[in-house]
A and B are shown apart, each in its own frame.
Chain A
């Protein structure tokens, strides 16, 4: 079975500071990795994804993430956050299950950006 662990349930940070949201996964096979963002009272939006190739992936809104196979991690980073980045962030992992790829989500990290 696969699982996704988001190590921090809440991350407070001041505006214009850098931030890292941590995600670790467990799987014995190759996986696809994703980060989603959820703004209040909305559904999820895909931020970025790692399928193969370069381990550093760039997404929307200035976010990037690095796939580290040896540490089974896929941490999300942004060098300078804005108030508008306040949201819930979800890490997700997909691997084949019964012929289909089914994503498993982490429990989420609430990013709170203070002025």
Chain B
């Protein structure tokens, strides 16, 4: 997917370890989102950002933290990973003028917590 890059694509962690997922977009989008996708659950919003330096909680924020220090980057952190956080994580971005929809999605980060 053009414009939204997620790093890494795969990762295996042990319970209690920490890590940061990076999302970068080069479309000058104001809005950025982090979702998790689990079988049969669709996409659930973890956190989102409406601009540089601002973040807000979504539907399932517990156990995650985020930062938006630069407009093009949105970081998702797991301070102490738990098996329940095994999931596929998607980042998305969108324009302020079309804030009602994420327009571009990354290809996902597949995270396994053992």
Contact = CB atoms under 8 A, between A and B. Distances in A.
To the question of whether A and B form a pair in one complex, the answer is yes
A56 B40 CA distance: 28
Interface in A77-102: 90, 92, 94, 98, 100-102
B15 to A, nearest CB: 26
The bracket for how many chain A residues form the interface is: 20 to 34
B101 A100 contact: no
A46 B90 CA distance: 14
B27 interface: no
A43 B92 CA distance: 9
The secondary-structure label for the interface of chain A is strand
Contact of A101 (B43, B92, B99, B106): B99
Nearest to A94: B100
Contacts of A63: none
A90 B107 contact: no
Count class of interface residues, chain B: 20 to 34
A100 B104 CA distance: 18
Interface string B28-71: 00010001000011111100101000001011000000000000
B74 interface: no
Interface string A48-74: 010100000000000000000000000
B43 A90 contact: yes
Contact of B4 (A6, A43, A94, A100): A43
Given A42-B1, A105-B35, 6 more contacts: A6-B42, A51-B100, A100-B31, A103-B45, A103-B101, A107-B41
29 contacts: A6-B42, A34-B101, A41-B108, A42-B1, A42-B107, A42-B108, A43-B92, A43-B104, A43-B105, A43-B106, A43-B107, A43-B108, A44-B105, A45-B1, A45-B105, A46-B101, A49-B101, A51-B100, A90-B42, A92-B101, A94-B101, A104-B59, A105-B35, A105-B44, A106-B42, A107-B40, A107-B41, A108-B40, A108-B42
Interface of B: 1, 4, 31, 35, 40-45, 48, 50, 56, 58-59, 90, 92, 99-108
